[in-house]
Chains A and B, each alone.
Chain A
C-alpha cells in the first residue's frame, strides 16, 4: 500500500486524468477534496504552502510532492499491478508516448483552459482557446485515423499508454466548451476503446453508458 494522496476536485480535468490513471493501473488513491469551485480553496494560504502554483492536482507519495499531472501519471503507471501495460518498453514507442504526453500538456492545454473559461467563468479568450483546442484535436484525429488503418487502437501502438490517458479527457470533455464530437470519427472510436479498458472510470461530463 503506497498511500498516494491526491488533492482533488471532481470537475477538474487534470484531477480526472490522475484518478483515471490510478484506476486503470490498479492503484488506490487517498483522496483529499479541495473546494476549487466555488470555494476557491486552492488560493488559501494552507494550500499555497503545499503548492505555490495554487493549482490542482497535487500528489503526495513516498515523502515527495508532485505538482505536474504528467509526472503523476508516469509515477502511478509505474506503481500499479496493471501499470506496466501503459509504459511501453521499446525506445521508439516510449519516445512517441512522451511526445504525445507533452502534446497533451502543452498544445492541448488550450482544451483544458477553454473548458475552465466556459464552465467556471475563468478569465481568458474562450473562442480563441476553443479554436486552438480544435486544431490540436484535429491533429490527434489525423494521427488516430492513420493508426486505425494500421490496425493500432491506441496513440502509441496496439496497447494503451500513459499518453492515451493524458489525451482522452481533452476529447471526452470538449463538448463542455461547445466543440462537438461530430468531426472526429477516429477519436470517437478511440474513446470507445479506452472506455472498455479494465478499471476505466468516468467523471461528470463523461457519461456512463449504462
Chain B
C-alpha cells in the first residue's frame, strides 16, 4: 500500500460530488476544508464551482436555482453568468450591472465520474480522466478524511468480499473486493467530517448496485461508532 505524501487537506484538487448527482440545470452546496462552495451545471451541461455566497446580502447561492446559463439567487433574484459576474438585478431591470459585482470562482473539472474543484490560482492540472467510473453514491461521514482513508484501506466496503490491493493516490483510494474494482474520492469537509464519493470501475446490474448501498451504510455506521477506539 502506497502512502500519500501530503495531507488530504492540502491537495490542490478535491472531488466534491459525483458528476451524475449534479444534473444539468441544478445546483448543490457543499463544504471543502471549511469553505462553502456551490457547484452547479448550466442547461448546456457545463460545470461551475463558486463561493456559496451571494455578493448582495450573503445568501447561499446553493439555495438558488439555475436559469439557462445563469445561477439566480433565491433572496432577491440577482442572476450571475458563467463568468460569475452579475448580469441582472430584478429590482433594477434597466440597470447595466457593473462587472465588478461578481462571485469568487473556483476551478471545476470532471474526471473519474466525479466533480473536481481547485482554488483559482492552483497551477496543477486537474486529475486525468483515465478510465470509466460508475458512480455508486456520495456518503457524508462524521469523521475526518484521514480516518476514513485508513478505515477503507483496512476494511473496504463491509460485507463485499475480501479486500485486495488498496492503493492511495492523493485524495483517491482504489481497491478490489472480489471481482469488483472500487474507487473512492475523499472530500475533507471539517476536522470531524468528510464526504466519500464512491464509484465502481465496471458497471453492475441495478439490483446489485442497490444491494451495495447497504454496505456503504455499514461503512458509515462502523466509522461513526468506532470514534473512541482509535482507528489507525
Query: Which of A57-65, A114-122, A174-182 faces chain B?
Result: A174-182
Verify A188–B207 contact, CB threshold 8 A.
no
Within the complex, what minimum Cβ distance (angstroms) separates A139 from chain B? 9
> Which of B21, B63, B65, B217 meets A142, CB within 8 Å?
B217
Q: Does A207 contact B (CB under 8 A)?
A: yes
CA separation between A188 and B23, bound complex, in Å? 11
CA separation between A142 and B136, bound complex, in Å? 11
Verify A145–B18 contact, CB threshold 8 A.
no
CA separation between A160 and B63, bound complex, in Å? 25
Interface residues of A in 101-155 (CB under 8 A from B): 142, 145-147, 149-151
Q: Does A185 contact B (CB under 8 A)?
A: yes
Q: Does B183 contact A (CB under 8 A)?
A: no
Q: For residue A186, which residues in chain B have a CB less than 8 angstroms away from its CB?
A: 137
Within the complex, what minimum Cβ distance (angstroms) separates B198 from chain A? 10
Proximity bits, A164-201, B CB within 8 Å = 1, else 0: 00000000000100001111011011001000000000
Verify A188–B213 contact, CB threshold 8 A.
no
Proximity bits, B123-155, A CB within 8 Å = 1, else 0: 000000000000011101000000000000000
Interface residues of A in 2-45 (CB under 8 A from B): none
Chain A residues within 8 Å of chain B by Cβ, number: 19
CA separation between A146 and B213, bound complex, in Å? 6
Given A186-B137, A189-B23, A207-B74: A180 and B65 interface contact (C-beta under 8 Å): no
Chain A residue with Cβ nearest B207? A150
Within the complex, what minimum Cβ distance (angstroms) separates A180 from chain B? 6
Verify B210–A182 contact, CB threshold 8 A.
no
Chain B residues within 8 Å of chain A by Cβ, number: 27
Q: For residue B206, which residues in chain A have a CB less than 8 angstroms away from its CB?
A: 149-151
Interface residues of B in 24-62 (CB under 8 A from A): 26, 28-31, 62
Proximity bits, B203-223, A CB within 8 Å = 1, else 0: 000110111011011000000
> Which of A181, A185, A209 meets B138, CB within 8 Å?
A185
> Which of B18, B138, B209 meets A149, CB within 8 Å?
B209
Which residues does A use to contact B, with CB under 8 Å?
A: 142, 145-147, 149-151, 175, 180-183, 185-186, 188-189, 192, 207, 209
A-B contacts, 19 of them at CB < 8 A, read A142-B216, A142-B217, A145-B137, A146-B214, A150-B210, A151-B206, A175-B63, A180-B62, A181-B28, A181-B62, A182-B29, A182-B30, A182-B62, A182-B140, A183-B138, A185-B18, A185-B137, A189-B21, A207-B65
Q: 14 additional contacts, CB 8 Å, given A149-B213, A175-B63, A181-B62?
A: A142-B217, A146-B210, A146-B211, A149-B136, A149-B206, A180-B62, A182-B28, A182-B140, A183-B195, A186-B137, A188-B26, A189-B21, A189-B23, A207-B74
Which residues does B use to contact A, with CB under 8 Å?
A: 17-18, 21, 23, 26, 28-31, 62-63, 65, 74, 136-138, 140, 195, 206-207, 209-211, 213-214, 216-217
